[in-house]
Structure 1
Amino acid sequence: MSGLKLRNTVKKFTQVQVIHGVDLDIADGEFCVFVGPSGCGKSTLLRMIAGLEETTEGTIHIGEREVTKMDPAERGVAMVFQTYALYPHMTVAENMGFGLKMNGFPKEEINAKVTEASRILRLDDYLKRKPKALSGGQRQRVAIGRAIVRGPEVFLFDEPLSNLDAELRVEMRVEIARLHKEIGATMIYVTHDQVEAMTLADKIVVLRAGKIEQVGAPMDLYRDPDNRFVAGFIGSPSMNFCAGTFAAGGIRVEGFGIDHLAPPSSLTDAQKDVIVGVRPQHIKIDPSGSTHMVEHSESLGGVSYVYLRADNGERITVEAGEEAPAKNGDRVGLAIEIDRAMVFDAATEARIR
């Protein structure tokens, strides 16, 4: 297995630039997730690594080899797509071994590799079935098995769970995490779902508009985001943000009902307009208050979410216990864990620490 390095990688489609000078190191055996909203360039970057998109500028290294101009087949990567792309007339075993067969591998070696892949993916009972006799999750495992038999240096996953229902998505997340632990391969995984990113990744790369916003371990990004975008994208439900004003040595945040928040040490008098962020689980509802109106509440069994509107119109989400502590239309107050609040520059959206 091998790690991967991107250096000043750029992708342009005629006059439109979609990847802007990306630098990234992925260690050997690391599970790296590219995450970001639709159109941020994550799939394009993955396809550049695979060789399915030409790299306009910069270099890509897999292990010690520069692969920037190599054909996809020469790069030592295997890609699992959103669609399973299985041959309907072939059995599971034939689908998994077809690539090796086309490359002239001996039948005995193909059988051995398919047998090992089916063991890892728990497909032994399905090897003689055709795709139409499989569930969506089983088909995706076959697609992953087809990648495993190639013995690649790097596995690439392009939103592989998007076509599955919610229950199967959870099941396949566990399967992919187990697969990574068993074979120890370098894996790069693209998703727009930050829950998948948080649960699977050793390292998350947050992308926006073709640029890297932040790179780090999942909980590092959650606890210490560099800017408002990362703070809002990582974590579910999303962080609450309200406008604040810095004056007289403290920050006033009307939306949260905060009159005096101690400012970060680097905040100066010149930075008067700020954004303050607080996660839903760091806010509690005070039934004796009257600063916010309950617009809607959701009870999901073990947790509930209450959606509030402040008197200035700003909206806030609160994570509560099994049952919502207030009804729609009630007026309530907030009890905020002030030490958990984060402050961002209103103009640049950068974190103020």
Structure 2
Amino acid sequence: MSGVTLNKVIKKYGDVQVIHGIDLEINDGEFCVFVGPSGCGKSTLLRMVAGLEETTDGQINIGTRDVTRMDPSQRGVAMVFQTYALYPHMTVKDNMGFGLKMNGHPKAEIAEKVAEATRILKLEQYLDRKPSALSGGQRQRVSIGRAIVRGPEVFLFDEPLSNLDAELRVEMRVEIARLHKEIGATMIYVTHDQVEAMTLADKIVVLRAGNIEQVGAPMELYRDPDNKFVAGFIGSPAMNFLEGVANDGAVTVPGMKASFDGVIAPAYSGKKITVGMRAEHLMVDPGGDTHTVEMTESLGGVSFVYLTGDTGERIVIEERGDERSAEGARVGVSIDKSRLYLFDAETEARIRT
């Protein structure tokens, strides 16, 4: 097994640059997730590691080897795609062993590696079936099994669960997490779904417009985002953002009709501030009269209350317990000031005090 290092990696299509000098180190055995909105460059970056996209400039190392200009077959990687790409006329067993067969591996070796992948993925009862007789989740497990039998140094996953329904996505997340624990390989996983990223990753790389916004462990990014983009992207529901103004160490938030003292340096006085608040840190004040309850989304043990303020701002608050806010009710909103996230309204950079 090996780690992956990217050094000032650039990708251009003609005069258009889509990856802007990425520096990144993924440790041996780490599960690293590239996450970001559509068009941010996450799949392009993954395909550059795989060798499916040419690197315009910079260097890619797998272990101690410089693989920047190597053929994909020489890089020691295996890729699992969004589409299963299984041969419809072959059985599960033949699909998983086909790559080794084409490379001239002995039948006994192929059988042994297919049997091991089958055990890991619990596919024993499906070996003689063809893809048409499998569910979407089972087909994706076969696709992963095909990668396992190759014994790669690095596994690459390009949005492998996006074609599955919600229940199967959860099931396959558990399968992939268990697979990583069992084989301990380095894995790079691309998704636009931040829930997948938070669930699976040892390390998350948040990308925007071909640049890295922040790298860190899931809860590190959730609790300590560097900027408004990361704060809004990591977490479900998304962080609430309201406009505020700093004045002599306090931040006034008109949308809450509230002011918070001692939360910002006096040097920021007069500057516009974006105030971020997580749904679970906010509380509904039934005795208040600043917001209207538009909808309550009940999920059983937890509910999300959607509020609209008098000036049109929207806030989502998490509620627990048996009591739920009634639609149409007038309420107030409160929060412990230590739970506020402050961002410069112009640069969107985090203001830490």
* Shorter-chain TM-score range: over 0.9
1:91-133 CA-partner distances (Å, limit 9, x unpaired): 0000000000000000110000000000000001111110011
**Correspondences of 1:166-205 after superposition (within 5 Å):** 166-205=166-205
The equivalent of 1:148 in structure 2 is 148
Distance 1:241 1:184 in 2: 39
CA contact (8 A) 1:305 1:324 kept: no
Alignment partner of 2:327: what SS?
Answer: coil
- Alpha carbons of 1:164 and 1:269: their partners in 2 closer, same or farther (altered >3 Å)? closer
* Amino acid aligned to 1:98: F
C-alpha contact (below 8 Å) 1:298/1:324 kept by paired residues:
no
1:231 aligned partner: 231
Contact 2:247 2:270 (8 Å CA) reproduced: no
- RMSD of aligned C-alpha atoms? 1.1
Counterpart Cα distance in 1 of 2:99 and 2:283: 56
- Contact 2:11/2:20 (8 A) holds in 1: yes
1:261 is displaced (CA, Å) by 3.7
**Which residue of the partner structure matches residue 115 of structure 1?**
115
1:311 is aligned to 310
Three-state SS of the structure 2 residue aligned to 1:189 is strand
Quote the Cα distance in structure 2 between the aligned partners of 1:40 and 1:80: 20
Matched residue type, 1:245:
V
Partner of residue 293, structure 1: 292
Structure 1 residue matching 2:256: 3-state secondary structure? coil
Mapping 1:1-353, distance limit 5 Å: 1-265=1-265, 268-269=267-268, 272-321=271-320, 325-353=324-352
Q: Deviations 1:112-159 (Å, cap 9, x if unpaired)?
A: 000000000000111111001111111000000000000000000000
* 1:35 partner amino acid: V
Residue deviations 1:287-328 (CA, integer Å, cap 9, x gap): 100011111111111111111111221110001125563222
Using the alignment, how far apart are the partners of 1:21 and 1:47 within structure 2? 16
Identity of aligned residues (%): 71
Q: Whole-Å Cα distance in 2 between the matches of residues 232 and 288 of structure 1?
A: 29
**Aligned-partner Cα distance in 2 for 1:202–1:271:** 40
Gaps of 5+ in 2: none
Is the Cα contact below 8 Å between 2:35 and 2:197 reproduced in 1?
yes
Checking the alignment, whether the CA contact within 8 Å between 1:285 and 1:325 is kept in structure 2 is no
Tell me, in whole angstroms, the C-alpha distance in 1 between the residues paired with 2:18 and 2:252: 39
Q: Distance in 1 between matches of 2:140 and 2:124?
A: 15
Given that residues 263 and 337 in structure 2 are in contact (C-alpha distance below 8 angstroms), is that contact kept between their aligned partners in structure 1? no
Shift of 1:248: 3.0
Instruction: Give 1:256 deviation, angstroms.
Output: 2.8
Cα shift readout 1:42-83 (whole Å, capped 9, x = no counterpart) = 000000000000000100000000000001000000000000
TM-score normalised by L of structure 2? 0.98
Q: TM-score, normalized by length of structure 1? A: 0.98
Could you tell me how far apart the structure 2 residues matched to 1:246 and 1:100 are? 64
Does the 8 Å CA contact 1:97/1:114 hold for their aligned counterparts? Answer: yes
Q: Secondary structure at the match of 1:255?
A: helix
8 Å CA contact 2:247–2:269 kept in 1: the answer is no
The count of residues paired between Structure 1 and Structure 2 equals: 352
The gaps in structure 1 that reach 5 residues or longer are none
Query: Would you say the 8 A contact 1:96–1:114 is kept in 2?
Result: yes
AA matched with 1:303: V
C-alpha contact 2:344 2:351 (8 A) present in aligned 1: yes
Are the counterparts in 2 of residues 299 and 324 from structure 1 also a CA contact under 8 Å? no
Partner of 2:2, secondary structure, is: coil
One-letter amino acid of the counterpart of residue 97, structure 2: G
Is contact 2:248-2:269 (8 Å) kept? no
Code of the residue aligned with 2:10 in structure 1: it is V
